[in-house]
A and B are shown apart, each in its own frame.
Chain A
């Protein structure tokens, strides 16, 4: 019984597909002057000015390269790097002491 019902549904679906395939949709109304409307849309999109922030993101790679260059330049200029945070703290403390000595603080 269930199988027969399923067969009927399959058959119905096939008939629906066949009928829908038989006549392709009528697009003649939309085809008329389609190029003219499209050309107007293309012109409009060309004329629409992009806001300043529209292209700002395109500069992101430039900023990335600049940051990398600055980082490399800093490394070349000051290649001495303390190996651990403790050494860094001592180095900062020494610099503070030196500044104090020089300024008489």
Chain B
């Protein structure tokens, strides 16, 4: 008589089932984590096509390295690290191909609100996108994690594999570079 395997209940069991070739178990893992992965990736992608590519690339990496997940950290943390790595590689790749990133394709109707007034979310994203396009991939990564995702130094260090001191130094430099990039060249 064929032994019937019980349906996976925990993430660890889903991972084990996926490793044993259960595609539905892997799809369930993707369903549970895709929103978080895509939200992070969306900070780096410029449009939906890029976001879809980046999201798929991230989950392909998850799929390929599933065997190395030992269950010591929550599965979500493990995926976050892979997501950050994939985003960083994506930024470096994009920079290699487009030495001078042109954002002319984006529609700018960004008038700065009066001093002290609030920016709309869309306005802010466009201005930051324009400013960050001139930064190094590591600077952009750190600004995104630190300022936009509101993560702590310790979290950023854990996600990137950099030391906490390096994270602080890079965050300081990145902020300075972004200020220069957004504010023009006059405060060099």
Contacts and interface: CB of A to CB of B under 8 A. Distances in A.
Given A20-B125, A35-B34, A15 B119 contact: yes
A31 B36 CA distance: 10
A9 B35 contact: no
Interface of A is mostly: helix
Interface in A1-54: 2, 5-6, 8-13, 15-27, 29-31, 34-35, 37-39, 41-42, 45
Given A19-B123, A20-B124, A25 B39 contact: yes
Contacts of A16: 119, 124, 127-128, 182
B121 A22 contact: yes
Contact of A20 (B26, B121, B182): B121
Given A13-B178, A16-B119, A39-B27, A27 B38 contact: yes
Contacts of B112: 12
Contacts of B187: 2, 5-6, 9
Interface string B78-103: 00000000000000000000000000
State which size class the interface on A falls in: 20 to 34
A42 B56 CA distance: 9
B71 interface: no
A55 B45 CA distance: 34
A36 to B, nearest CB: 9
Interface residues of B, number: 40
Interface of B: 23, 26-27, 30-31, 34-35, 38-39, 42-43, 48, 51-52, 55-56, 59-60, 63, 112, 115-116, 118-121, 123-125, 127-128, 147-148, 150, 175, 178-179, 182-183, 187
22 contacts: A6-B187, A9-B187, A10-B179, A15-B118, A16-B128, A17-B124, A19-B121, A19-B123, A20-B125, A20-B148, A21-B148, A23-B121, A25-B125, A27-B38, A30-B42, A30-B55, A31-B34, A31-B35, A34-B38, A35-B27, A38-B60, A45-B60
The 3 lowest CB-CB distance pairs between A and B, nearest first, are A19-B124, A25-B42, A19-B119
